[in-house]
Amino acid sequence: MIKVVILGGGNIAYHLTTNLLKNKTTNVVQVYNRSIEKIQYLDNKTSITDKLTELKNADIYIIAISDDAISSVSSKLNFKNKLVIHTSGSVALDELKSTSNKGVFYLVQSFSKKQKIDLSQVPICIEASTEKDLELLAVLAKSISKTYYTINSKQRKSLHVAAVFVNNFVNHLYYIGNEICEENKIPFKILQPLIQETANKIATLSPFEAQTGPAKRNDTKTIKKHLAMLPQKQQEIYTLLTKSIIKTHGKKL
Amino acid sequence: MIKVVILGGGNIAYHLTTNLLKNKTTNVVQVYNRSIEKIQYLDNKTSITDKLTELKNADIYIIAISDDAISSVSSKLNFKNKLVIHTSGSVALDELKSTSNKGVFYLVQSFSKKQKIDLSQVPICIEASTEKDLELLAVLAKSISKTYYTINSKQRKSLHVAAVFVNNFVNHLYYIGNEICEENKIPFKILQPLIQETANKIATLSPFEAQTGPAKRNDTKTIKKHLAMLPQKQQEIYTLLTKSIIKTHGKKL
């Protein structure tokens, strides 16, 4: 069994802890959080603490806290022959300031405590400073998920930016769609099957092949009609994305 | 049985014809297309024609052709006591130039011939100039899908613009995500579960509640890092959407 200590009480820490407590490959010996209240629910399942000086002995220390705090917390974890890892998409391996061995364990998903997530379906990106540690992280990753990838810090940062586009920005376009529906007293749920299908499509088609709509067809008549219907903020976004689609598909405005 | 003639050989016409041929409520008496080759595959299933002057007698004539051609084709369909409808999201009811009764039958989904679609899950928006015709369209809609809505031409046009945001523009953001992955030799499929989850989430949360990411948190440090990594075209889109999210969630840059 791999002995792990988990540091953090946020969304990722919550989902990881829940999974690793049930996982037959791991033994969660302790969970740390600076505010003990947030991890009180774990009291009867494992040891909990709010003191970094009282961390137990483990093989891997998983830092699942906010990006800004990773350097400072990791600088206090100086154990010989132990592996200290973080779970952030945008923080480089060498931002870990521990003198222990270092690694990254990035779960490519957006987590909220309310939403149940099947971690076996979540790809995990691993990175480590030694081959041996990479193998250990691969064992851990395989015990959680069906897919894992070895990528370096630069790739991971790019992946994180790509995730901002396909997750945060996509959700904002859903928000605008919702706004337009509300203004016109149309139930937003009419669009749910279309939203679902748009996401499903790219499992089999590339986004380039899957592109449809007035911008793709360079249908200036429809584009003008749409722009005339929109308030300025939405117009700007409509115009920029339309131009970008037209450019991508090789036609000029 | 409702006797229908379908006009068109494109994606929507294809999916509608396939469905209505099997549908127990309808009898597809004929399919018209200006080029007969495209509907030749229907030859042993129903009558086919490429002549508008040879259309058979039916209760409903469904015009499922490109938006630009709806006025001109409909102007040639002048039958007494018949219903002539189109299937477009962005064309108003009164753009039908037929002297027959008029209606609209808009399937809120993006269709391609390659992709199988379960029409029972596709919401249908109906509109008609008389109550009687609206009832007839409701019967037709219910025979195809689990959900239908009565909305007017203005609402439908707004819905179509909203669909551009949540379908066409969202797909373009997938395209940019794919581009970033390719440039960094990361398999795009790593993002598929995140994309799926982003779409699933808004079935239970509003897009406002579901928003996450550096823009939502007004995390200027991460935003700056991301911008520095992107080429200009992607930078512009990143900046505009980030500003819009910050504005939506009440914080200033």
In what helix (H) or strand (E) does residue B147 lie, and over which residues does it extend? none
Cβ distance of A229 and B170 shorter than 8 Å: no
Number of H helices, E strands in chain A: 9, 8
From B213, which residue of chain A is nearest by alpha-carbon distance? A168
User: Do B5 and B29 form a contact (C-beta atoms < 8 A)?
Assistant: yes
What pLDDT score was predicted for residue B253? 43
User: Do B38 and B64 form a contact (C-beta atoms < 8 A)?
Assistant: no
Structure tokens given for B240: 């505009």
DSSP letter at B251? -
- Spell out the domains of chain B, with CATH numbers in brackets: 2-151 (3.40.50.720), 156-248 (1.10.1040.20)
Positive or negative CA dihedral for A123, A129, A135, A139?
Answer: negative
Chain B residues with CB-CB distance to A250 below 8 A: none
User: Do A66 and A10 form a contact (C-beta atoms < 8 A)?
Assistant: yes
State how far the Cα of A202 lies from the Cα of B50, in Å rounded to an integer. Answer: 35
Cβ distance of A212 and B238 shorter than 8 Å: no
Q: What is the mean pLDDT of residues B209-219?
A: 92
Selection from A220, A236, A249, A202 nearest residue B165 by Cα: A236
Give the pLDDT confidence of A137-147 residue by residue, as tens digits: 999 999 999 99
User: Looking at per-residue confidence, does A90 or B167 come out higher?
Assistant: B167
Q: What is the 3-state secondary structure (H, E, C) of A90-150?
A: CCCHHHCCCCCEEEEEEECCCCCCCCCCCHHHCCEEEEECCHHHHHHHHHHHHHHCCCEEE
In what helix (H) or strand (E) does residue A163 lie, and over which residues does it extend? helix A153-163
What ipTM, to 2 d.p.?
A: 0.92
**Residues paired with residue B1 on neighbouring β-strands, in sequence order:** none
Task: Please count the CA atoms within 13 angstroms of the CA of A30 that sit on its side-chain side.
Answer: 20
DSSP, collapsed to helix, strand or coil, labels residue B116 as: coil
In A10-119, at which residue ranges do the beta strands (DSSP E only) sit?
A: 26-32, 47-49, 60-63, 83-86, 101-107
Cβ distance of A109 and B197 shorter than 8 Å: yes
Mean pLDDT of all residues belonging to chain B: 95
What pLDDT score was predicted for residue A235? 97
**pTM: predicted TM-score of the whole model, two decimal places:** 0.91
CA distance B140 to chain A (A): 18
Give the pLDDT confidence of B89-118 residue by residue, as tens digits: 989 999 999 999 999 999 999 887 777 889
What pLDDT score was predicted for residue A253? 43
What pLDDT score was predicted for residue B113? 76
Instruction: Tell me the pLDDT band of A223, cut-offs 50, 70 and 90.
Output: very high
Cβ distance of A181 and B159 shorter than 8 Å: yes
What pLDDT score was predicted for residue A252? 45
Q: Name which of B181, B184, B240 is nearest A237 (Cβ-Cβ).
A: B240
Instruction: Tell me the pLDDT band of A28, cut-offs 50, 70 and 90.
Output: very high
Cβ distance of B186 and A123 shorter than 8 Å: no
> Which of A20-43 are b and which e, b meaning 16 or more Cβ less than 10 Å from the residue's Cβ?
beebeebebbbbbbeeeebbeebe
Number of H helices, E strands in chain B: 9, 8
In what helix (H) or strand (E) does residue B69 lie, and over which residues does it extend? none
| Chain A contact probe: residue of B175, B196, B249 with most A CBs at under 10 A | B175
Give the pLDDT confidence of A95-151 residue by residue, as tens digits: 999 999 999 999 999 887 777 889 999 999 999 999 999 999 999 999 999 999 999
**Residues found in chain B:** 253
Cβ distance of A163 and B151 shorter than 8 Å: no
| Chain B contact probe: residue of A70, A124, A149, A241 with most B CBs at under 10 A | A241
One-letter amino acid for residue A151 of the chain: I
Give the pLDDT confidence of B176-197 residue by residue, as tens digits: 999 999 999 999 999 999 999 9
Give the pLDDT confidence of B39-63 residue by residue, as tens digits: 999 999 999 999 999 999 999 999 9
Selection from B160, B191, B150, B186 nearest residue B174 by Cα: B191
Positive or negative CA dihedral for A218, A237, B110, B125?
Answer: negative
Helices of type H across chain B: 11-22, 70-74, 131-144, 153-163, 170-183, 192-201, 207-210, 220-229, 232-248
What pLDDT score was predicted for residue A25? 97
CA distance A184 to chain B (A): 6
State how far the Cα of B28 lies from the Cα of A201, in Å rounded to an integer. Answer: 30
DSSP, collapsed to helix, strand or coil, labels residue B32 as: strand
Give the pLDDT confidence of A159-217 residue by residue, as tens digits: 999 999 999 999 999 999 999 999 999 999 999 999 999 999 999 999 999 999 999 98
What pLDDT score was predicted for residue B112? 79
Cβ distance of A155 and B185 shorter than 8 Å: yes
Residue A89: pLDDT above 50?
yes
State how far the Cα of B119 lies from the Cα of A218, in Å rounded to an integer. Answer: 28
Q: What is the mean pLDDT of residues A9-15?
A: 94
Chain B residues with CB-CB distance to A190 below 8 A: 108, 123, 125, 147, 149, 159
Give the pLDDT confidence of A151-170 residue by residue, as tens digits: 999 999 999 999 999 999 99
User: Do A53 and A78 form a contact (C-beta atoms < 8 A)?
Assistant: no
How far is C-alpha A70 from the chain's CA centre? Answer: 16
Residue B251: pLDDT above 70?
no
Residue A251: pLDDT above 70?
no
Distances (CA, A) of A220 to A43, A215, A239: 62, 8, 11
